[in-house]
Amino acid sequence: MSLLNRPLKIRVLFIFIWVLIAFVFSEMALSLSYRLLFKHSFQKSEIRTQLRTLAENEPSLNKNTTRGDYKTIDRDFSKDFSTRKMTSQIEVVHPFLGYVQDPRRNPNVSEFGFPGRINPVLKRSSDRLIVGLVGGSVAMWTYFDGRERLIEQLKRVPVWKNREIIVLNLSMGGYKQPQQLMTLAYMLSLGAQFDVILNLDGFNEVALSSVENVPKKVFPLFPRDWFFRVGNVNDPSLLIKMGELGIINQKRKTWAILLESLGFDHSAVLTVFWKGADRILESSRSRKIADIQNQSARLDEISSYVFEGPFAPPANEKDLFQFLATSWAESSLQMKNICVGNGIRYFHFLQPNQYLSGSKKMNLDEQKRAIKKDYRYRKSIETGYPVLIHQGKVLRKQNVVFTDLTMIFADTDVPLYIDECCHLSPQGNEMLATKMGQVVVNETWK
């Protein structure tokens, strides 16, 4: 009996089995040839991490309908870190901190707008140790991935061994000095008390200020993308391009969320299709961002002190990075002074970055993923970080407990960087937290 003469259920089952067999063979073939296509092997954990961090580095430039709203991408901060989901986070302008996440429209955000559910306004007591962590997205993910490692280290201090150690997240994607300084002052003004403040930063200070603020004639120390957060953008062509950029971003987010939520990141076949489509969208996104940034002449026409501030064009690149690094160091020094006045131990850490020569041993897989020749922040990192390192030495002479972590991975060949920006895998974040904890312990014992 031919297949056409068999019952419909049998025919459907037969077709399903053949499709399944074809899919399995395709999976096997693509898993083996994946390295040829993408220059590195197919790893489920890597794909999952890429999906969850998609677009986190560069928030969308499209505003929401309410003035002051600003959409970005983040991961859901559930207790089960292995099941984090990527969600759209809405940031709102804050009168003291620049911006925070809106706790009324974002899940797992404290009432003060910081990712994490713990209320940061706590009081000290003899039976607990309150630790605050400030900085940008690297600090934030060090908190979520590495706080248990941090607590393990802090427990090594005899007087802290039997205390409840509470680590609070006061960091936010894109934060840069003086936002950390302002965050500390704001929390203290609300009555918050801390035993220890950890500041992990450096990348945003030299990268975001030079690439995002200065070209738009926005004061370098103003918060990230301040122009798009508060600027009265009324150029029709610019608004259209911003809307088109928002559509592209939303498509990338939607596909990534769908792929991960359905568990399709386990499939080499579906991953190849997603990567191809996402690369096309990413290319369109890059061109659109370039178009927006190239309209500097039109942005000049809507000049306003609200978003420009006391902007004065730097005489040259050297002067710009010297200004950024000096301001970064001065902010840290003032944080130290505030902490001393409030009986708080203050520790400052310069975060690592893959674009610093000799800072990380990388195999071919990690190089392809983490190093991009024309990455738009690369020059700022290569130029600005040496100035930060120098200022860090100055801070030490001013009795700031400053630790340069730029070479923390110099002898590590385990892949740790998950993107071309600065972000690390959970293992990398745990290593950062462990090292930070060790510094606190050693300095406390002194």
SS3 assignment, position 11: helix
What is the rounded CA–CA span in Å between residue 128 and residue 24? 54
Percentage of residues in the chain with pLDDT exceeding 90?
53
What would the DSSP string read from start to end of 128-168?
EEEEEEEESHHHHHHHHHHHHHHHHHHTTSGGGTTSEEEEE
Instruction: Tell whether the model's pLDDT for residue 302 goes beyond 60.
Output: no
Instruction: Judge contact between 231 and 298, C-beta under 8 A.
Output: no
Looking at the DSSP bridge assignments, the partners of residue 69 are 92
Strands 164-169 and 196-201: unpaired
**pTM value?**
0.74
Q: Which amino acid is at 50?
A: Q
What is the rounded CA–CA span in Å between residue 423 and residue 174? 12
- Give 9-29 pLDDT, tens digit per residue: 665 665 666 666 765 666 566
Q: In what order do the strands lie in the sheet with 164-169?
A: 164-169, 128-135, 196-201, 345-350, 401-404
- Give 179-202 pLDDT, tens digit per residue: 999 999 999 999 999 999 999 999
- Give 231-259 pLDDT, tens digit per residue: 655 566 777 777 788 788 777 777 777 76
Q: Higher confidence at residue 164 or residue 90? A: 164
Using the Cα atoms of residue 276, residue 279, residue 285 and residue 288 in order, give the sign of their dihedral.
Answer: negative
- Give 82-140 pLDDT, tens digit per residue: 334 444 578 999 999 999 999 998 888 999 999 988 889 999 999 999 999 999 999 99
Tokens representing 262 are: 């359905």
Query: What pLDDT shows up at residue 205?
Result: 97
The contacts found for 374-381 with CB under 8 angstroms, 24 or more apart, are 375/420, 375/421, 376/211, 377/203, 377/207, 377/208, 377/211, 377/421, 380/206, 380/207, 380/210, 380/211, 380/321, 381/203, 381/206, 381/207, 381/353, 381/355, 381/356
